[in-house]
Amino acid sequence: VYKRATPTTLPSFLLLGPSGAGKTAFLTLTERRAVAAAPTHTSTSPLTIQALLPDSFTPESAHFRSPGDPAYERARRFLLVDTPGHGKLRHFATGQLVNPTHVCGIVFVVDAASVAEEAGLNEAAEYLHDVLLSLQKRYTNAKTSKGPREIPVLVAANKLDLFTALPPHLVKIALEKAVSDVRKSRAKGLKDSGVAMGGEDDGVDEEREWLGGGGEGPFEFRQMDEVGTSVVVKGGNVLGGDGADVRGWLEWIAEQL
Ligand code: GTP
Ligand code: MG
Q: How far, CA to CA in Å, does 39 sit from each of 25, 58, 246?
A: 7, 29, 17
- Count up the domains in the chain and report the number: 1
Q: How far, CA to CA in Å, does 117 sit from each of 88, 109, 164, 168?
A: 22, 16, 10, 15
CA angle in degrees (0–180, nearest 5) for 81-155-147: 75
**How far does the centroid of ligand 1 lie from the alpha carbon of residue 85, in Å?**
11
> Which ligand approaches the C-alpha of residue 47 most closely?
2
Quick one: CA dihedral 234, 90, 28, 153, positive or negative? positive
Concatenating the DSSP letter of every residue in 79-96 gives EEEE---SGGGTHHHHHH
**Residue at 206 is within a domain:** no
Q: How much is the CA Rg of the chain, to the nearest whole Å? A: 19
Q: Categorize the per-residue pLDDT at 1 as very low, low, confident or very high, splitting at 50, 70 and 90.
A: very low
- Tens of pLDDT, residue by residue over 127-184, are 999 999 999 988 888 766 666 788 999 999 999 999 999 999 999 999 999 999 999 9
CATH number at residue 64: 3.40.50.300
Stretch 73-93: mean pLDDT: 91
The 8-class DSSP code of residue 222 comes to G
Q: Name the helix (H) or strand (E) containing 119.
A: helix 118-141
**Residue at 78 is within a domain:** yes
**How would you classify the pairing of strands 77-82 and 12-16?**
parallel
**Residue at 216 is within a domain:** no
- The percent of residues in the chain predicted with pLDDT above 90, rounded, is 55
**How far does the centroid of ligand 1 lie from the alpha carbon of residue 98, in Å?**
26
**Residue at 59 is within a domain:** yes
**Residue at 212 is within a domain:** no
Residues with CB under 6 A from ligand 1: 17, 19-25, 40, 42-43, 84-86, 109, 158-159, 161-162, 237-240
**Residue at 199 is within a domain:** no
- Tens of pLDDT, residue by residue over 39-65, are 788 989 889 999 999 988 999 988 888
Half-sphere exposure for 90 (CA within 13 Å, toward CB): 15
**Residue at 25 is within a domain:** yes
**pLDDT of 209 higher than 90:** no
Of 14, 16, 24, the one to substitute when testing ligand 1's pocket (max ligand atoms within 8 A of C-beta) is 24
**How far does the centroid of ligand 1 lie from the alpha carbon of residue 78, in Å?**
22
**How far does the centroid of ligand 2 lie from the alpha carbon of residue 53, in Å?**
21
Structural domain including 138 reads: 12-179+221-256
Atom of ligand 1 nearest to the CA of 162: 30
CA distance 33 to 52: 8
**Residue at 108 is within a domain:** yes
